[in-house]
Amino acid sequence: MKASDLMTPDPACITPNDSVQDAARMMGSYNVGSLPVVEGGDNKRLVGIVTDRDLALGVIGEGRFDARVGDVMTPNPSTVRENDDAEAVSRLMAEEQIRRVPVVDERGAVVGMIAQADLALAESGVTDRTVGQVVERISQPEGSGPGSSRA
């Protein structure tokens, strides 16, 4: 099974100059916990990702209600390509402790998103054991597992 089989194609995207309120409204409208951040216009080249956690901690927690998406996003997020296999996707999510991963094409443009739930709901290619290991690794507190010495 490939990433293209797991992903939600053509996800809603936002730009660094959009308001954090726009990001929150879009997350609510599309029932998602993250949005790929792209350059904008017709250019869907990925420059970051913004999550509901970024909004909670970086906006509400710090009282930065006039912030732009670019102020709170994670720049240069980890990605996969459409032809990467499900095992590579699972490994990346576990190693990086991420619940969602953008899928990009050869130019770095966003073509899809894969969430932890997409792995769990896959009909083939991902075992229950693999999904369990991914969930376990993602859920470890930061700094407590292998590869968690991220800044």
Alpha carbon distance 48, 40 (integer Å): 12
Residue 147 lies in a domain: no
CATH number of the domain within which 66 lies:
3.10.580.10
pLDDT in tens, 20-56: 999 999 999 999 999 999 998 788 999 999 999 999 9
Residue 150 lies in a domain: no
What is the arrangement of strands in the sheet containing 110-115, beginning at the earlier edge strand?
8-9, 110-115, 100-104, 80-81
How confident is the prediction for the chain on average, in pLDDT?
85
Q: Residue 119's domain spans which residues?
A: 3-139
Residue 115 lies in a domain: yes
Q: What is the pTM of this model?
A: 0.80
pLDDT band, very low/low/confident/very high, at 133 (cuts 50, 70, 90): low
Q: How many domains does the chain divide into?
A: 1
Alpha carbon distance 125, 129 (integer Å): 12
Residue 144 lies in a domain: no
